[in-house]
Amino acid sequence: MEHLLRRAIRGEDDHLLDLGCGDGTWLLRALQAHDGVTAVGVDISGAGFDHVLGEAARLGLGDRLELRRQDVAEYRSVRKADLVLSVGSAYAYGGLLPTLNAAREHLAEDGMLLLGDCFWEHEPDAAVRAQQESGPQKYADLPTTVAQVVADGWTPVYGYTSTIAEWDEYEWCWTGTLAQWALDNPGHPGSDLALRMSAEHRDSWLGGYRGFLGFVVLLLRRTPAPVKA
């Protein structure tokens, strides 16, 4: 994550916009590493905002970070961003291409886009594909995914493909944290549901898309129009 941000942030006073920012951790890391950078994060959930904003205040970075609880489709930027992030959030716009269009609207002239999305590392069987593509998002293999992005007018200047160990860590962390909370709070009205959700997700991952679904983060710049002869 840090090495991607290092490549993506080019000016000490860059402005960042994270569309579907989760709790805002990526932005907090960016502010910690770059003194003059400012950032806005937008997420429909708002879960974890208080914690991250508290951390930002504790570190003296509070005046450079804004986290907004809002649907990204409704967000209009006041200031164009030097770097737009959309990491694991393309479904918020209904897929890859609508996300690229939205990012374009928010980007400064020579801005960069850090786009993280899934792709099929190996061809899944029909059941696994149907499970992962039940919403508006459809995935392709990595060359096709990158070709779609390029055809939309972007040039990748860097990319990072998650390893299976990183996927495993991510999945164990979130299913495990949910299970841990349920076991620690047996009397809570939500604990049975939490335990069930954790187990269902773990099963659908281990018995389904593990090893088939990949995740790539692309650092993109707009491809200039060809110079007319």
Ligand X SMILES: C[S@@+](CC[C@H](N)C(=O)[O-])C[C@H]1O[C@@H](n2cnc3c(N)ncnc32)[C@H](O)[C@@H]1O
The contact set with ligand X (CB under 6 A) reads 20-22, 42-45, 71-73, 87-89, 92
Q: Is residue 142 within 8 Å of residue 156, measured between CB atoms?
A: no
CB of 23 to ligand X, least distance (A): 7
Residue least distant from ligand X (Cβ) = 22
- Output the six-digit token pair for 103: 């990012």
Task: Compare residues 5 and 123 and give the one whose CB is closer to ligand X.
Answer: 5
Taking the C-alpha atoms of residue 171 and residue 210, their distance in angstroms, rounded to an integer, is 10
CB of 224 to ligand X, least distance (A): 28
- Output the six-digit token pair for 98: 């609508």
Task: Compare residues 37 and 115 and give the one whose CB is closer to ligand X.
Answer: 115
CA dihedral 48, 51, 57, 61 (to 10 degrees): -40
CB of 228 to ligand X, least distance (A): 39
CB of 227 to ligand X, least distance (A): 36
CA dihedral 226, 9, 113, 135 (to 10 degrees): 170
CB of 6 to ligand X, least distance (A): 17
Name the residue with tokens 């999305």: 117
- Output the six-digit token pair for 67: 């986290």
DSSP state letter for 212: T
Task: Compare residues 192 and 200 and give the one whose CB is closer to ligand X.
Answer: 200
Task: Compare residues 61 and 84 and give the one whose CB is closer to ligand X.
Answer: 84
HSE-CB of 154 using CA atoms within 13 angstroms: 27
The SS3 assignment for 28 reads helix
Task: Compare residues 43 and 121 and give the one whose CB is closer to ligand X.
Answer: 43
Amino acid code (one letter) for 79 = R
Task: Compare residues 118 and 194 and give the one whose CB is closer to ligand X.
Answer: 118
Task: Compare residues 136 and 153 and give the one whose CB is closer to ligand X.
Answer: 136
- The closest alpha carbon to 8, from 218, 223, 224, belongs to 218
CB of 118 to ligand X, least distance (A): 10
Taking the C-alpha atoms of residue 206 and residue 102, their distance in angstroms, rounded to an integer, is 34
CB of 166 to ligand X, least distance (A): 12
